[in-house]
Amino acid sequence: MYTAARPIKLACRNVWKVYGRRPDYYFDSRGYVIDPDALAERLRAEAHLPAVVDASFEVATGEIFVIMGLSGSGKSTLVRCLSRLVEPSAGEILLDGRNLLAASGKELIELRRHAMGMVFQNFGLLPHLSVLDNVAFPLKIQGKPAKEREARAREMIALVGLEGREASFPHQLSGGQQQRVGIARSLAVGPELWFLDEPFSALDPLIRKQMQDEFLRLQRMLKKTIIFITHDIAEAFRLADRLAIMRAGKIVQIGRPADIVLNPADDYVAQFTEDMPLLRVITAGDIATPANGTALPERSVAADTSLEALIPQLASGVSAFTVPVAGDGPPAVLSAGAVLAVLEREQARRKSS
């Protein structure tokens, strides 16, 4: 839905990260096509740890791409490979078509100063700086004059709703407030690419929900290209345009939330997603079918409406909806039967589990 229309911002091709005594040894044979699973197996047998196995995906401009997996699945290592905080063992990372792995130290610093921002699970705020100075820190590093960076920092602090706390120090703030500072800091240089590494995992559930709303609000305003890491499946399905599920270093499935719940790639993904309510994850746009010349129903719903929200209307006797499609294509039709089919499937899932 999104990928076709927008240019690719970040592409990750066959990226590996291997820890061990001599990881380079395994990647010096050019031209061979190696079966990733076999290589991972061999690495493990030879006392190496393949943290990221042959990861490939593309992220479109303005998209929220969520990488999800349990702890130890390699998701944090993968996001660090993308920002080169961790040096990948093999593969290619293209940012706007330029190979990031070929960038020199100086170029990398320039990229980090202008093109990327990152938010960390444990906030990573500098304990000796006030909120204002923390947010202004990336600008200070660039040598921007004090006045300019202060103005920009105040703007960012207002954006995340922390006005009045500029002079506080990190230890005087709650977890949620600290992460707001982290978000403001990562946005201060106006990056197009935004990495968030489990940003809300250290927060209480209630605060986490608030922060997710806040995050979606910000994204509607800012339209960044986002790589979001999480181990929380509800969070992943709530925020993602598309998501990738990782297991033991390998990406096992990439797709829109609806694709993943409707067509899980394997038992692992099926088990992983079995508690996600289909009616809430699947939207009208996901299962609407092309009209093919038949008459369009009177009622119209937006493509991103969840099926759950349609149930009251179905109960009141509506039998079909018109669903406008993004772009110029002809609108699609969603029949009550299709919704009921999903409902039946959900019931079957509940019974079997």
Q: Which parts of this chain interact with another protein (CB under 8 A)?
A: 80, 83, 85, 109-114, 116-118, 120-129, 137-138, 140-142, 182, 185-186, 189, 195
| Identity of the residue, 202 or 218, whose beta carbon is nearer to another protein in the bound complex | 202
In the complex, the smallest distance separating the C-beta of residue 137 from another protein, rounded to whole angstroms, is 6
| Identity of the residue, 89 or 178, whose beta carbon is nearer to another protein in the bound complex | 178
Instruction: Round to whole Å and give the CA distance between 129 and 141.
Output: 14
DSSP reduced 3-state for 249: coil
In the complex, the smallest distance separating the C-beta of residue 194 from another protein, rounded to whole angstroms, is 11
Using left for φ > 0, alpha for ψ between -120 and 50, and beta otherwise, residue 31 falls in left
| Identity of the residue, 142 or 347, whose beta carbon is nearer to another protein in the bound complex | 142
Instruction: Round to whole Å and give the CA distance between 161 and 154.
Output: 10
In the complex, the smallest distance separating the C-beta of residue 24 from another protein, rounded to whole angstroms, is 20
Helices 146-159 and 175-187: crossing angle in degrees, nearest 10, is 130
In the complex, the smallest distance separating the C-beta of residue 174 from another protein, rounded to whole angstroms, is 17
Cβ burial of 265 (10 Å; 0-12, 13-18, 19+) is middle
In the complex, the smallest distance separating the C-beta of residue 73 from another protein, rounded to whole angstroms, is 18
Instruction: Round to whole Å and give the CA distance between 350 and 157.
Output: 45
| Identity of the residue, 36 or 175, whose beta carbon is nearer to another protein in the bound complex | 175
In the complex, the smallest distance separating the C-beta of residue 95 from another protein, rounded to whole angstroms, is 14
Strand arrangement of the beta sheet that strand 320-323 belongs to: 289-290, 332-335, 320-323
| Identity of the residue, 95 or 111, whose beta carbon is nearer to another protein in the bound complex | 111
| Identity of the residue, 182 or 249, whose beta carbon is nearer to another protein in the bound complex | 182
| Identity of the residue, 137 or 268, whose beta carbon is nearer to another protein in the bound complex | 137
Q: Parallel, antiparallel, or unpaired: how do β-strands 64-68 and 332-335 relate?
A: unpaired
Q: What single letter denotes the amino acid at residue 65?
A: F
Cβ(156)–Cβ(191) below 8 Å: no
Instruction: Round to whole Å and give the CA distance between 215 and 206.
Output: 14
| Identity of the residue, 202 or 343, whose beta carbon is nearer to another protein in the bound complex | 202
In the complex, the smallest distance separating the C-beta of residue 238 from another protein, rounded to whole angstroms, is 24
In the complex, the smallest distance separating the C-beta of residue 32 from another protein, rounded to whole angstroms, is 34
Cβ(203)–Cβ(182) below 8 Å: no
Strand arrangement of the beta sheet that strand 225-230 belongs to: 98-99, 90-95, 8-19, 49-60, 250-255, 242-247, 64-68, 225-230, 193-197, 116-119
